[in-house]
Each structure stands twice: as C-alpha cells, then as structure tokens.
Amino acid sequence: MNVLFAGGGTGGHLYPAVAMAGELLKLVPGASVSFAGTKNGIEATEIPRMGYRLHLLPVRGLKRGGSFRAIISNVGVLADFAGALVSASSIIGREKPDVVVGTGGFASAPMLLAAQLMGRRTLIQEQNAFPGVTTKLLSLLAGEIHLSFSEAKGYIRRKKGVFVTGNPARSFQPVGSEEARMRFGLQEPLPTLLVFGGSRGARSINNAALQWLEEFSSGTNLIWQTGALDYDRISSQVKPSGRLWIGPYIENMGDAYAVSDLVVCRAGASTIAELTNMGKPSVLVPYPYATGDHQRFNAKALVRSGAAMLIDDSRLETPGAKQIVFDLLHDSGRLDAMSVSCHALAHPDAARLLAERIIQLANI
C-alpha cells in the first residue's frame, strides 16, 4: 500500500498527518508513506528528520484583503499554483499512491486536486471548526472527509462520506498530579493554573499573566510557558517562588496537564484536541489574526458544550478577565463539571481510526 500525505506549513497541519502515518505503519508495517509540502513550511525540516520522504511543491498562500499589493501578489500565487499542480501531477504519476490524504496548508490543495483529476482516491482531514478553503472546495470530489468538530458539518456541501473523527493529538503517559507537581518544583497542592501560548508564546497572554502575579502570593500555583521570544523579558520581572514555574517551553505537557486545574491558552486545533483528550477546563483566548478567525470557531465549540470559557484577546488585560480566571480557578464544582463536558468531546483514538479509514479506501 502506498499513501501520500499532503499538508503542512504549520505544526497544526503537519502533526495530524504524522500521527496518522505512524498508526498506518503499525497496522500495515510494509506500507510506503511519503509527504508533500513546501520548502518554507515546518515539514521541510521535520519530515526528513523523522525519516520520511518529502516531495516539495512551489506553492504559497493567497494574501487576504483587496489592496493593490495583495491583488498583485495573488497573481503570482495563482501562477505558482498552476506550476504546483503540474508538479503534483508528476509526483502522483511517479509514486502512484493508493490514497492521497490532505491535512491543510498550502501544499494540500494542488496535491489533492491533481489526485482527484487523475482518478486517485483522496481523504481530507480538517482540524478546525471552520473548515479551510481547500476542504470546502475539494470536499465534493474526495472519497471521505473527516472533521474534528461536528460544527464543521454545516460548511460542507455534501452529506455522504463525512465523518466526525477528531483531530490526532499527542498522547501522554499517565502521571499522578502529586508527582507532576513535584517535577515543576511546586511546594503545595494548591489550585494550579497552566498558562501557555505555543512554542513562540503569545504576547497578550504573557502580558496578562504578568499582571496576575500578585494573585499567586498565596493560595494558588502557576505553571507558565512564556515561549522563546518573551522568556527573557518576562523572567527578568518574576521573582522565584515555590508556587511558580516559568520557562520558555514545557518539555512534557503531560505533566503540566496532570497538575493543572485550569488552562489559559490559544484555541488552535491541536491544543483543543489535547484539552479534550485530557479533560481540562480552559479559558480560551483565540488568536485574532488566525485565517478566517478559525480559532474563535474552535473556542465557541467548547464554550457551547460547557467545556471552556472564551475571552477576547483585546480584553485579556482587563480586571474583568482576571476576575473570570481566578473565580473559575477556585470554583472546584464548576471545574469538575467543565472537565466532564470536555471529556465528552474527546477523540483519543482519532489517529488510529483515520489510519483504518485510509486502509479501507486503499482496498476499495
């Protein structure tokens, strides 16, 4: 069996594909797996490092907005897309994949379209509650469409072959909360807030957390991933404490989730998948510049289910936002109810189920 995964640009598009590929190789050890991406995406370094073959396509994303500069840029983008479609057709002709799996990102569209035009079976995996342009346009010809959120169904123009399978996410080894607390050097088993904004950080979240530090003088613990760009600035203003762990990056997020009672973070698809799989109540702060404002759609899906609260990025540094976070952190009954609602949205077996569907498509 030969499967080609197309997608990347960011980890949110790449790592679900990697998770599916890993499960596929467990189920079919002799399968041939390769990836298609761009030289400027995260896949350019990550895929070779993982030992997979990578096909590069000359494609980039459309500029949003109606400015003259955006229009001129998009003319070049469309020309690149035509070239990428030719390259994708050549790759498919050479590789002869049984299934092409698209996970979003610039490279997924030309590869999926070329596969569909050449009669190859395709599967689309959509991570967000508001589907991307590629999913909406190419879903009509895909063999199957797999969604992470049931809310995304409303944006798909077909009903048959559409499944809510979840988003493949990192899995973590079980660890007790006391053991995890000790690993972070937190001295007392107090209500614990986990704050993070991704590996690079989120400036607005960091600035808000900096204002909240006085609340951690008694009765509360804080685990704070600042991201690499903000760490020096933030750490220089923070005094060491047995109720605080601060660092640019958390090596084992499983420990952080295990010890935390509440999470403040962005609403990217991979983060949402981890929160639901771990059953962690959260205050979500959607990144306001995300394409199509998709993080807001992701966050609202959890809010509607009672699993999270939402605070706008622009309001995060207000006294009202601070009050929401700390009132919730100290309301154990509400946190327990949110955790139950969060678990109900989980899809811990998403990667395996998707791998099984790929195998079925390949054997049709």
Task: Give the integer Cα–Cα distance in Å for 67 and 103.
Answer: 29
Q: What's the mean per-residue pLDDT of the chain?
A: 91
Handedness of CA 312, 313, 315, 321 (dihedral sign): positive
What does the pLDDT read at residue 173? 86
What does the pLDDT read at residue 65? 45
Q: What is the mean pLDDT of residues 279-298?
A: 95
Q: What is the pLDDT of residues 137-195, one digit of tens each?
A: 999 999 999 999 999 999 999 999 999 999 999 888 889 999 999 999 999 999 999 99
Does residue 54 register a pLDDT over 50? yes
What does the pLDDT read at residue 201? 77
What does the pLDDT read at residue 72? 42
Angle at 139 (CA atoms; ends 103, 83), nearest 5 degrees: 65
Q: Where are the alpha helices (DSSP H) in 96-188?
A: 108-117, 133-138, 177-183
Q: What is the pLDDT of residues 77-115, one digit of tens each?
A: 566 778 889 999 999 999 999 999 999 887 899 999 999
pTM of the model: 0.89
Does residue 321 register a pLDDT over 60? yes
Phi, psi of 219 (to 5 degrees): 85, 0
Q: What is the pLDDT of residues 191-220, one digit of tens each?
A: 999 999 976 779 999 999 999 988 777 789
What does the pLDDT read at residue 189? 94
Does residue 66 register a pLDDT over 80? no
Buried b (16+ CB within 10 A) or exposed e, 294-322: bbbbbbbbbbeebbbbbbebeebbeeebb
Q: What is the pLDDT of residues 223-255, one digit of tens each?
A: 999 998 899 999 999 988 899 999 999 989 999
Task: Give the integer Cα–Cα distance in Å for 151 and 153.
Answer: 5
What does the pLDDT read at residue 199? 67
Q: Which residue has the higher pLDDT, 67 or 138?
A: 138
Does residue 134 register a pLDDT over 90? no
